[in-house]
Chains A and B, each alone.
Chain A
């Protein structure tokens, strides 16, 4: 069975610090997708990024970057120069490939609460 572990539960940093959110996954499949979502205090989970298992290139989007390493089954998320608006709960999720519909179900980690203090 697939599993996603976000070992950090709460992280608190001061504005402008860099912070890395860890995500470790388990799957027996060779084809899968990984996701990160952000849940601000308003409550709605917002999609941040998707990565498939065949694409190990790191991705950078502004202050956000993602490091995908199949060798360690990790998909870590780094925020550079954090800001107060980055305060949120961040979820990592895993989806395995397979027949359409039957496997379209994400497995979520328990989330990491990030607090960025001014």
Chain B
């Protein structure tokens, strides 16, 4: 079964730590996305990538960076974690072309203490 895999389901980190959230897809999708989900705010796009080594800022990129060295892997980096980055993080991938929807991972619930 094809899927998007996020490395951790739950993560607890300390303020100031550098945090890596990993996402791997096995569908040979060109596009990959990182969202955060918070109650009442829905899904907010952090960063996305249409190709290897390419990245574009989403709606809320501040405090985050990304890396896409290989087509199948898209990493989200919190350079210096803060408590306001406590959230559910969702990774998604899709084929190029707007007719295609996204395939989502199961999410990583990050708590920054």
Q: Which listed segment binds B: A14-22, A66-74, A77-85, A96-104? A: A96-104
In the assembled complex, the Cα of A33 lies from the Cα of B99 at a distance in Å of: 6
Contacting pair B48 A91 (CB below 8 A): no
Convert B48-84 into 0s and 1s, putting 1 for each residue whose CB lies closer than 8 angstroms to a CB of A: 1011000000000000000000000000000000000
Convert A34-57 into 0s and 1s, putting 1 for each residue whose CB lies closer than 8 angstroms to a CB of B: 010100001111110010100000
Contacting pair B106 A103 (CB below 8 A): no
A117 within 8 A of B: no
- Number of A residues near B (Cβ < 8 Å) is 30
- Say which residue of B95, B102, B107 sits within 8 Å of A43 (CB atoms): B107
Contacting pair A104 B42 (CB below 8 A): no
In the assembled complex, the Cα of A111 lies from the Cα of B107 at a distance in Å of: 16
Known: A43-B107, A45-B90, A96-B98. A101 touches B31 (CB 8 A): yes
Contacting pair B99 A50 (CB below 8 A): yes
Known: A104-B50, A105-B48. A98 touches B107 (CB 8 A): no
Contacting pair A103 B98 (CB below 8 A): yes
18 A-B residue pairs with CB within 8 Å: A33-B98, A33-B99, A37-B104, A42-B106, A44-B105, A44-B106, A45-B104, A52-B99, A91-B42, A95-B98, A95-B99, A98-B98, A102-B50, A104-B31, A105-B33, A106-B101, A109-B42, A110-B42
